[in-house]
Structure 1
Amino acid sequence: MLRHPAATAELAARLGMTSPQVSRHLRHLREAGLVLTHREGTAVYYGLNTEAMGRLGPDLLVGLHH
């Protein structure tokens, strides 16, 4: 999600989870300000909020880049 925002269904397939499970997790991350969303047609794409992640600690952001 850092380099390529993804839709819920795509994330669910990657993680081996159901879309509702992923949606619940994404809702919590969005409420915490850790993910950003944008809409393309009917799809909502989620990406990491690098500014918020950087405030958690620079080492975390560096680790996510690898």
Structure 2
Amino acid sequence: MAGRFIISKDKTGVFRFKLVAGNGQTLAVSEGYASKAACVNGVEATRRHAVDAKIDDSALEPLRL
């Protein structure tokens, strides 16, 4: 099953999206958006830019595999 974006509106009226993996795990949660249209634009921007996104590792510890 492919991942999906879920758009919701919280108690304060702010829209957010989250990216959920096929196994149901939440991978990312967006900032708050004042309108649903702005939230959908955020989803589309994430789709466009995540494909070529690089990892900027600013962690103080090295990765141990």
- Give the structure-1-normalised TM-score: 0.37
Higher RCO (CA 8 Å, separation ≥ 6 residues): 1
Q: Which has the larger radius of gyration?
A: 2
